């Protein structure tokens, strides 16, 4: 999870222009790099952080910023989300995002952490873990995350920008316990946007 706030949120319910998108992604990348340089927030081990010059990102991809239909669904009971360790934090399904990427229909489930919901400043935080065919090749093998706030959903729509997809902290250090993207959140096309793999 990005430690600060959900970075560079788009105008709710409206896909940004190319220029607006470029500015938002640049802001997101700057915020993420700043977080990784900050000893208080960085997931990087000290010896790696000293040499850190910036994360590797895919080139800006406007086609990977989509306007999705949001379907609310909170009828399912909370469940223990599998992680990279034995920890099983409780999450609840919040809804579904339906959109088209590379000409193919896709769907992602949006989750809400019951623990994070209790923390000041994160009451409206939503979590979208996903995998795609780039995992283990040009992006981290364990999948990536996108953060969202409730306010980004307006009139049954939300902008999903994969240029703001980032790696779990456990991609950088085994000391972290990171949610594993559920099988239902597998995107069938390669998402060439967001943070790339360092390996």
pLDDT digits (tens, 9 = 90+) for 137-154: 999 999 999 999 999 999
Strands, E assignment, 41-193:
65-72, 79-80, 90-101, 104-113, 125-130, 144-149, 153-154, 157-161
pLDDT tens for 3-24 read 444 444 555 668 999 999 999 9
Distance CA(112)–CA(173), nearest Å, equals: 24
pLDDT at 2 over 60: no
Q: Residue 30: which pLDDT band, with cuts at 50, 70 and 90?
A: very high
Please report the pLDDT score of residue 11 as a whole number: 59
Q: Give me the DSSP letters along 143-181.
A: -EEEEEEGGGEETTEEEEEGGG-B--GGGT-TT---BPP
Please report the pLDDT score of residue 74 as a whole number: 79
pTM of the model: 0.92
Please report the pLDDT score of residue 12 as a whole number: 63
Please report the pLDDT score of residue 5 as a whole number: 44
Please report the pLDDT score of residue 1 as a whole number: 46
Please report the pLDDT score of residue 120 as a whole number: 94
Q: Residue 98: which pLDDT band, with cuts at 50, 70 and 90?
A: very high
Rounded to an integer, the average pLDDT of 64-75 is 94
């Amino acid at each position: 999870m990005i430690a600060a706030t959900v970075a560079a949120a788009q105008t709710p319910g409206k896909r940004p222009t190319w220029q607006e998108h470029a500015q938002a992604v640049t802001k997101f990348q700057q915020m993420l790099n700043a977080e990784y340089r900050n000893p208080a927030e960085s997931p990087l081990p000290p010896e790696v952080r000293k040499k850190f010059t910036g994360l590797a990102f895919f080139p800006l991809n406007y086609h990977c910023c989509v306007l999705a239909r949001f379907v609310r669904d909170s009828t399912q009971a909370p469940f223990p989300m599998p992680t990279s360790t034995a920890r099983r934090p409780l999450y609840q399904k919040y809804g579904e995002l339906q959109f088209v990427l590379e000409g193919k229909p896709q769907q992602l489930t949006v989750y809400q952490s019951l623990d994070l919901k209790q923390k000041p400043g994160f009451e409206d935080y939503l979590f979208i873990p996903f995998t795609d065919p780039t995992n283990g090749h040009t992006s981290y093998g364990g999948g990536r995350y996108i953060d969202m706030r409730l306010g980004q959903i307006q009139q049954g729509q939300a902008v999903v920008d994969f240029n703001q997809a980032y790696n779990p902290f456990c991609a950088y250090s085994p000391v972290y316990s990171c949610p594993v993207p559920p099988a239902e959140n597998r995107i069938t096309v390669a998402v060439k946007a967001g943070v790339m793999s360092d390996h």
